[in-house]
Amino acid sequence: MAVGETDLKTLLSTLEPILHADSFVFLTIPNTAVSQVRPDLLALQPQLLFQEREGTTIIITREQAVSHGFTDYVFPCRMISLSVHSSLEAVGLIAAISAQLRDAGVSANVVSGFYHDHIFVPEGKEEVAMQAIEGMARGS
């Protein structure tokens, strides 16, 4: 049973993107260091923690990164959240958005949460990305 919307046409017509004010960054810490950092992970207020073989990826605000001494972050970006409650089983939504952003010359890193999808785009490209996504919704 799918939770959330699965119909691609409905999803595209109800995207309603929200641009967040904060700037975000990606960083990684070695998995061996996670146990040492673990008590501080909640203090970082991460948007994402994802453990990979090579290390744990953390997405946090640039402000949090700097204030906690992380200077080796990458990809300063802005987060755009899609307010539509998309199903984790929906087919084609991310592909359609990725194609639209590709055509607009905007790279994107997408994170799917339980309720919404979140797109991280390079700083300085957020308005182009918002226009592209809003255009998709109007064109559906």
Closest by CA to 117, choosing from 139, 140, 101, 138, is: 101
Which part of the chain has CATH 3.30.2130.10? 8-22+77-139, 24-75
pLDDT in tens, the chain (140 residues): 568 999 999 999 999 999 999 999 999 988 776 555 555 677 788 999 898 888 889 999 999 999 988 999 999 999 999 999 999 999 999 999 999 999 999 999 999 999 999 999 999 999 999 999 999 888 86
Annotation: CATH topology of 24-75: VC0802-like (3.30.2130)
Residue with tokens 């402000």: 63
> Could you tell me the pTM of the whole model?
0.91
Q: How far apart are the first and last CA of the chain?
A: 26
Query: Per CATH, is 8-22+77-139 categorized as 3.30.2130.10?
Result: yes
